Chain A
Amino acid sequence: MMTMKTRTTTAILLTLITLMSIGTAFALTSNSYACRTTCYTNCDVIFTYVNSYDNEIEKDVAHTCAWITSCKHTIKICVTNAYPCYEATIDYTIKNIGNMKAHINKITINNPNPEALEISITNHECTWITPCEKINGQLTLHLLEEAQQCHTYEFEITIELSCAELQHPRTIGFWKNQFSALYCKDTAQVNSDTLEKILDEISTESQIFNFTGSRKHKFQQALDILNPGFKSNMKDKLKAQLLALWLNYKIGWTTGYTVEGMTAYQIIQGSEAALLNNQTKKFEYWKNLCDGFNNLGE
């Protein structure tokens, strides 16, 4: 005879199995379900605009229409009375309405009739879309000479995205910890290989910083700049904040952020110009901008 405890356990197990099955089923069949129901959180990228036109100038023979479906994740295109050499163009806009940055991993064009229909689409692969950012694309359909009369051609394009937590810029303190970790045997959040690679890139692109020697030497040089000391002058303070901003920029944690309408790279350019031209009166201004940017995540 089953005890009360066994019955309760069985009931919980059954409930969990059911929930898991439902969750898995949604994940497999509609991997954007969660995004659709929680439009202002998480990973949610939608179509916000679509417009179609064609290459007909004098005669209006074929007709192309395109619309975004109610779920906003699909564009449907319908071309009627098409003929060889007919070309339709569809402009669209994609918007990230989630709060994570989205990466377009892959675009798949499923065209079973390439001999009759040529399809080309803007290559968005490897593109990041930050929250609230819009990107525009264009799809072109071209009916070739092999197209048959009274025929229906279908195609499908899939744009696969994955989302990642939106990284924010880090402070000077954070970066000091990363370089210090080499000595303290501590666990750094950014590994040493990455740090060295970033320093090398900064050396190439910057007109102010140049890190040379072994990894240890480079890290020590970075630490010296990031640690200007208590009695340091404004120039050294600016260089410290500038290096932290360079590090944030090169690791990709400044994407989507601005301070006083300026991107990280614009502030970097401004700061370097001030240092190169020895515009001492502007050092504090640029230092504050760099500082402000590096503290955006705080």
Chain B
Amino acid sequence: MTKRHHYRQHTPKLTTLILTILLALTITGISYTYWTDTLNIFGTIRTGNIKITIDNQKLIPDIGYGKTPNNKTVSVSATITQGWEIWVGIIIKNKGTVPVTINYEITTNNPPYETYFGNDTYFYGPYTTTPPNAVWDGFDVLNPPTEETPPIDLPVDNILVVWQKLWLKPPPPEAFTITITSEYKATLGPWHEEVAVMYYLDKG
């Protein structure tokens, strides 16, 4: 018997075997799909953000100010003498995507001299549009309108008007320098962001 003959004789058996195996595998694959199922839940959660800025500012008397490009800090520099006082008004706007609560804190870099200064801070708002004349353009420093008490809720796109009076109490001490920081903090849970008015004061 030649090799060719031998091969031909076994071909049908081999073919049947292969066909059977393939058929079994096919049935197994299909059965698997028929006997199982899967359900899925896909979720995407996008978080918002906090952003407050100082949109406008006013000084009475207008002695000039500096402002950072990101509208986060207004700086006032002055050489002060007895009887000195200043009113600084700012408009804080909530430009984030979530509502925030505004609070404030005054700190200095020279605690022994803190007691020589007095301050009053007035909050007005929140407002959805331009603030009323009485609290901004026509603000009367001698007779300020009734203010809100912080913490104050500031919804998205709303504004808050803050006026702060800072003065030197008599009698003033000898020469000194002090930096007073009025920080306005917006919070939502653990998220927070701040804007500030910084007073760089020098008593000659």
Establish whether residues A27 and B33, one from each chain, have CB atoms under 8 Å apart when the complex forms: yes
Query: Which of B19, B26, B38, B43 touches A141 (beta carbons < 8 Å)?
Result: B43
Establish whether residues B44 and A152, one from each chain, have CB atoms under 8 Å apart when the complex forms: yes
**A-chain residues with CB within 8 Å of residue B23 when the two chains form the complex:** 16
Q: Report the interface size for chain A: residues with CB under 8 A from the other chain.
A: 70
Bound-state Cα–Cα, A82 to B165, Å: 38
Q: Which partner residue on chain B sits nearest A94 by CB separation?
A: B39
Establish whether residues B37 and A75, one from each chain, have CB atoms under 8 Å apart when the complex forms: no
Give A40 Cβ to nearest chain B Cβ, in Å.
13
Identify which of B68-76, B79-87, B113-121, B184-192 touches chain A: B184-192
Establish whether residues B34 and A35, one from each chain, have CB atoms under 8 Å apart when the complex forms: yes
**B-chain residues with CB within 8 Å of residue A139 when the two chains form the complex:** 41
Query: Which of A17, A23, A94, A141 touches B30 (beta carbons < 8 Å)?
Result: A23
Give A206 Cβ to nearest chain B Cβ, in Å.
35
Determine which residue in B26, B30, B34, B41 has the highest number of CB atoms from chain A within 10 A of its CB, and name it. Answer: B41
Give B48 Cβ to nearest chain A Cβ, in Å.
4
Query: Which of A24, A94, A159 touches B29 (beta carbons < 8 Å)?
Result: A24
Q: Which partner residue on chain A sits nearest B14 by CB separation?
A: A9
User: Known: A83-B191, A156-B41. Is A163-B36 also a contact (CB below 8 A)?
Assistant: yes
Q: Does A19 contact B (CB under 8 A)?
A: yes
**B-chain residues with CB within 8 Å of residue A148 when the two chains form the complex:** 47
B26-59 vs A, CB cutoff 8 Å, 1 = contact: the mask equals 1001101111111111111111111000000000
Establish whether residues A160 and B22, one from each chain, have CB atoms under 8 Å apart when the complex forms: no
Q: Does B107 contact A (CB under 8 A)?
A: no
Q: Which partner residue on chain A sits nearest B30 by CB separation?
A: A23
Establish whether residues B46 and A80, one from each chain, have CB atoms under 8 Å apart when the complex forms: yes
Q: Could you show 11 A-B contacts with beta carbons less than 8 Å apart?
A: A20-B22, A20-B26, A33-B33, A43-B36, A73-B40, A149-B191, A151-B47, A159-B38, A161-B36, A162-B37, A164-B35
Which 5 residue pairs spanning A and B have beta carbons closest together?
Answer: A34-B33, A84-B189, A77-B43, A23-B29, A81-B48
- New contact pairs (5) apart from A47-B39, A74-B41, A76-B41, CB-CB < 8 Å: A31-B32, A59-B155, A82-B48, A150-B47, A158-B40
